[in-house]
Structure 1
């Protein structure tokens, strides 16, 4: 028999060992139900020690709750009393109460337990030691029992015996409880009280009760339990009494047609209620028969039950379903094994291995011209694939003859027919017969399988005969666009919109009218179809926004039939303005920096920029040139070293359409550093003044000195230049050279430069003026008026600081050398006057 049940844990084993160490316990007495119970125990009890056993059922038939009033003791369901802690007993008795409850019947009972300590006798101790030494010979834990299910007996049939070694010293009574004894199925087993033999009273079905676990007890007549309750297992051995059965019947699988050999179709499974992992449940499968019987296409794996194909010859169009009869047998398929059969239904799934086709190669139909959105023909389409599947539905297309998009074809999903319709009116005069070529295909791609040919879509020809109808005039185009210049005058012809009679092919007898309610921008000639402006088309007028209008034109033939067309009128900007230069007067200084000319035009694109610029007077090309800066501007610059003066340059500007205008540009080419130097006003009359120093120079100086002073004081125009000269200015500016030849800047050593000249220029025109000189005492001044010429200050540079009383020789030479001869002549003229 097996060791104690797992539910009672290892503490039972420890209790048994402790019981042997303590020796043989004193007898415990069973008393009447629910009365006091007295146990004679050693003076010291270890934890988990069996104290004794109380008959609980004698006190309360059904006990749902058992508890102890003393936490040092634990009460099991069979009435066994164990210690939970180590307990030392004195000469006094230790008492506690066992509480029993039946919650359903609302009953409650109590059992009072007395523990009385006693002294062990010597022979008892020796016997205990002997018992410990003989522990290995005890038979209280035999191996599990077994019993073959469905045994034929004879009954009762002994299946095992349990014995306790304590029977050598005491009278032992054996008892048992659990399933098969006092629990369902009750009475199937019993144990002899005196011998411990276990008997079965009848056959057992293993599939219903594979095993039984009973609890065996060994007690003395007075109720003492020297052994721990034993959990003993009675195992029912399997008998092959169950036939294997398929988990479902029939099995249904689907496999695609023309699949490869070895494709898994599905797996059949069976169950056997006999003991697992034995020959009784070792199942094997085989195909008993298949329909149709030839050719043999399927096989089944004998262990797993997987069904697979043997060849790729499955064709749904030939055989759509196959039926297999399959056997399952236990005992690994041995002939003496139990078996049963099941049915497998295999449906062949369709693939698109058949191309659609037309039953006839050609069809013919009729339709009236100008008829739209009507059905003119139904074309049947055939396909051998599964009906109402994507492999069967036909998809039609017009592959030839529908270049003008007059026709459309759709599919009737119920009949799989092609519905041919006219969606744009046909013209009998243009074409009396239309020949269409129509192709059919499936909704999913065609699959090329063994023994099949490459896909070739089915085609047929449809002849559409157009029936002539008397129809109204038609315009060559349903609508024409016309762009009208906003500057166009009233009554200007802006286009022509004519219609023709489809019957005659000409425009004779057709009159034209503009439909009522149209914008009043255009008028049409009733006979010729010429379009003229009916009002001034000012695109900036709010009433004409958004500058577009659709004019509907009717063409009416002699029979009163009407054709309609549309004129799309757009008013575009007009070229009303010329481009111009807002700024035309400029000053150019001696650095000859180019002048930027920018043109403007109030018109909008395309009548404005980009502009073109050119000099109208070709004789000025030698001195002036233009360089483009952007679409609206150019730079005006000089080509050569032209003389200073005022130049009038005619500049021609053209817009993007070529419309040109000439503007006169005035350039004052001035001897200045900045344009502000040319802005001083001139004197209005010739003014000649001689200062005191000039008169004294003429009296005391020599003619040479006089000529020098006249040279210094000469100028052009009507302005006045004043210069202040000190007595020792000449000596301060003499240049002494000890070289064998003069330096680069020493051209005339007798020229004495002046100091601190102030130049005031007022230029009202280009011309020669008079010269004025003024010399003041206590200061030096020299004033010259000469329009458009250099001054001493311009030689030195405008705005630069000058060293008091000194000029370089090169400055002086640049100022006087070019004018020396001229001033000498003017000086003689002055003296004479």
Structure 2
């Protein structure tokens, strides 16, 4: 039942005297006697995942002679004690043989009464590794055929069977375990070839440096995997500073004299050995690099204790001195970086000292100007510390290092002073050019006067003023406009440079306060107004006045138009001082309207703004704006002149080709030339156009065309030619001599053509009809026509009539096989050699292109 167990995970038997083993074999659980020579039971197989259940019936039948032999065997077994049980078995890995190597013998007590054959199954027999073990069928001797690696196979669990020659199994299957005994054939291996650890200098004895680890693939729990660690050598060697725990591999310090400033790195050669470290054990070595980490145990010290420097008075943001220190700690670490402080002499805040991050020097700078008349010399006391805190030993060993700096202040001739730096004057806007006014004034700090100082204009954004060089007064050169963009809050700023006789200078700002004049009328900045007609009947308009409020609102709004229609349709209602409501009085249609509105300020100055009022079918103003933008985007699409020229040339070439083909076919008809079926694909082109077309196009030939039925599938049939033109279609329909479209509409122009499928002449309607009329008329008749073409003369279905194919450049040598084909099998494409000159010329022109 091995195959049955692949899809079943629950098994039930109706007879408790039988059982199903894992390999699918069926065994008895008790001594079973088939007294009547037969017995039956049922096995149910159930799959819990798919909820599938199957039933299997088992029928046992025993011949009479076999039954007698088994009854005799049962009498013998009742007097014999069995000893069929697993026997411990093992073999050494990597055994040298000789092979086959005898392992043990398995025997059954039933061999005293039966001829017993022995067999085994399992890994190493019929599963990987195959054919590693075998058993002699008659003796039960178990052999191994080759060496085994325990690291690959720790043990093998085999199943032994004892059967009689006729297939009877007097014994249960025997589970036989073969254990592979370990051999010390694997060296212990460190997890890393090189270990790297860091320990801080001055660490206490017993501080953990790091831990190493090794693995051994031999059998755990044996001497083969009991490892011992040790240090073979240390470099630099004396004194010994590290030790290693033999079983854990933890490295610790044995001394507190680690000094990074003396030795920064140590290298250890370490060893691991199995067999508890005995001399015959296998061993492996590795390298351990221990870096001594830095601590702040060295304080920075100045290279000099006294410094002298000088600086000119009134000088700021300049470097006047660099101070250097020495520190034995690790360079560029917080233990080495210095922080400088001015301890004394900087009570007025004239100096600042910072650290150069690259050189670790202290940079002394002047940040506040010194006055020679007040102080000629300054003495500073500067101290230095590290960024990182000191260790307790360093703090108790040496005090903080300090240095004294003497700064001499040099006398310097002072330039003019622009005090205050920002000065203002008041001027009325729109004053005439040439108007003079007071300007900027600078002073000599020594004499406290403005004599001898010259002035120069540095910045004048709009070029409105000129500055007098001697007095600093200003002259208006252009009209002043308070509403200009460069004027902020009514103030126009210019920059003035003041110089003394020695060329020293200062810079000041002159702010011209422009007094407002009512020179700007109010206006409406938003000139497009949207009124959503379903939701609102008016819109608010807001006016602004660039002048000051005293010359601005309240505003007066009025309609400015001589057109009575505007005044009849629109009305203005004041909301507040700066806003009004524009509403319509009659129900206007959707569209755009121009409404001129005059706005007048409180002093009577006014201006007219033409509002573009859009009455729109929308909910919100943005809806109408979005749709307008989309239409504008479509309107922007234009065809360039070259695109138009290409379209016209293409249309002209198409008409030339069609005209040439019609003429060629007419001439060929006169010469009794039969055209092949496949030529229709290269002459009749179905095209659509959305532009106004020409007059009616009449077909003067009998070409077969492609008609499309209601199902949307195309089929070839002799239904005439249809040409679409100007949004309508001109249709030539074949439906007998009296059932044309014109019969529904009255007499029209008719002509006759040959129907190659049904025979005879057929009246053709060439009148021009609309698409809907053509569709309603042709759909039922076209379906009937196609159905008739599917039948031959005997009213039998001819499925090979409707053929869909594409012209691939040459005709078939066999011709057409359709029932309605006019092309004979012996006819080829010889007609191509007799084309008219016009068609040949056209072909040559196309081939050259």
TM-score for the superposition, normalised by structure 1: 0.47
Query: Highest relative contact order (Cα 8 Å, sep 6+), 1 or 2?
Result: 1
